[in-house]
Amino acid sequence: MKLYINGQRKIGTRDSMIYGHFIEHFHRQIYGGVYDPDNPLSDEDGLRMDVLEAMRKIKVPILRWPGGCFVSSYHWKDAVGDNRRPFFDKAWRVEEPNSFGTDEYIRLCRKIGCEPYICANAGTGTAEEMSDWVEYCNLEYEGRYAKWRIANGCPKPYKVKYWSVGNENYGFWEIGAKSAEEWSRLVAESSKMIKHVDPDTELTAAALTDLDWNIKLLKSSAQFLDWISIHEYWDGIHQTNDYADYEAVMAYTNQTEHSIAEVRGLLTAMKLDKKIKIAFDEWNLRGWYHPNVHTVEQGRTKKDYLYPRDKNDDNSKYTMADAVFTACFLNVLNRNCDIVGMANFAPIVNTRGCIYTYKEGIVLRSTYHVFDLYVNYMGDVVLDSWCGDMEMMCVRNKVGEPEETAVLDIVATAFSGQAGYAVAVVNKSEAEAKKLEINLETSGDVRMYYISGESTESYNDIDREEIAIECEELGTYIPGMEITLKPHMVGVIQIGV
């Protein structure tokens, strides 16, 4: 296959925030995950130092918190100061101790050097409660909430720039779900109050690929919004935990772009595409496993709804299938960098996250290394590229139907701050190596950083590392150079870097 790259034709410059992450008060993401005060690996603030280091290595640019479904019955005022008030989390049906609140979250963000992104309660919360939260975080000293922050030991404002009005309030599963009419009104009033507190905030609101919902939302609130939020989990196994196999996951790679295309079209039609960007602020290949919760008939015992969540911790399930899909979606985000300015992998720690914690350390799952490749080896200027003789392969989707999908998924980039090029290449083929001829007018040394594993089922676990970044020195580049791509491989080819 022959790849052609036009080094002079730029699609756009991607924002680093497309490599963002998300963390929620679910299962072990916070408690026993990033926050574990009794663990000797934690620092003076109770934050796991090994997790912080892993997050810094992939340069987490922005971290969305505290939810997710959790936020729709979360009242932030109960989780700041000395008098923390536990509550029963009606979303996940557990007691939330409120030990980790706004101040702890900001410390986490400061320690890893990322932008905070707070999702506010638009389920049981009010416009006033949301704007009070902005007062606490962003006002210098005015009002009781800024003074409360100062009294809690934080004299300088946090200056949280990114805020979301609500989570998935369109869904029946969400606490405080709303109709399109109710939602458009609440978002408008909440956004107005938040902007009155701090006009420098950037706001998003929950949306989906539904014309009626989005048109009502944008007609009421477009003047306040900077972003529109969409979510997607392709292998939706929240209730069943029946993982799609490698072949079916490759079929899912055909579906990675439809949500962006549909929302882009709506924004363009409403002449908002230059004002409002897409925040794909929850995404992962597979849905989190939490049976008998987002159902009308609730689980009666903890064996029905709580204990099964531990199956999210099975590291053997996070294989090269997850890595290949993740890379394909990051390629989609890069190709759409003119309209997608933020994305948040859900979550970063435990559950389906790319970092797994246990008492004595951490495991870096396959998806972690994908982020490492893209963050640390790819360029930020996305270039026009094409492969006129792309090979197709036939796979069977999860319901057993045949589909065709492109064997390779490729994005070419340059660097805004230095010379050279970097090309992300994904070989979806389960068993066959593929040859790629690169045609680009440039020169320099060539090296390839990649992950592949021995098989599609390779995974990392405690005392088991089957997936890690490898590097091959490929010599001096000449136009038409041919490079061999291993099966089920995710790689970045650097030229002249």
Tell me the catalytic residues: 168, 282
Listed in sequence order, the DSSP H helices in 178-305 are 180-197, 211-221, 246-252, 258-269, 302-305
In the chain, the amino acid numbered 19 is: Y
Length of the chain: 497
Identify which of 97, 17, 3 has the alpha carbon closest to the alpha carbon of residue 343.
Answer: 17
Tokens of 347: 């979550």
Question: What Å distances lie between residue 11 and 8, 72, 327, CA to CA?
Answer: 10, 38, 19
3-state secondary structure (DSSP) of residue 452: coil
Q: What's the CA gap between 391 and 408, in Å, rounded?
A: 8
Tokens of 44: 């003076």
Q: What's the CA gap between 297 and 310, in Å, rounded?
A: 21
Cβ burial 229-242 (10 Å sphere, 16+ → b, else e): bbbbbbbebbeebe
The neighbouring-strand residues paired with 116 are: 63
DSSP state of 484: E
Q: Are 329 and 255 in contact (CB under 8 A)?
A: no
Question: What Å distances lie between residue 64 and 30, 162, 234, 342, CA to CA?
Answer: 13, 9, 20, 11
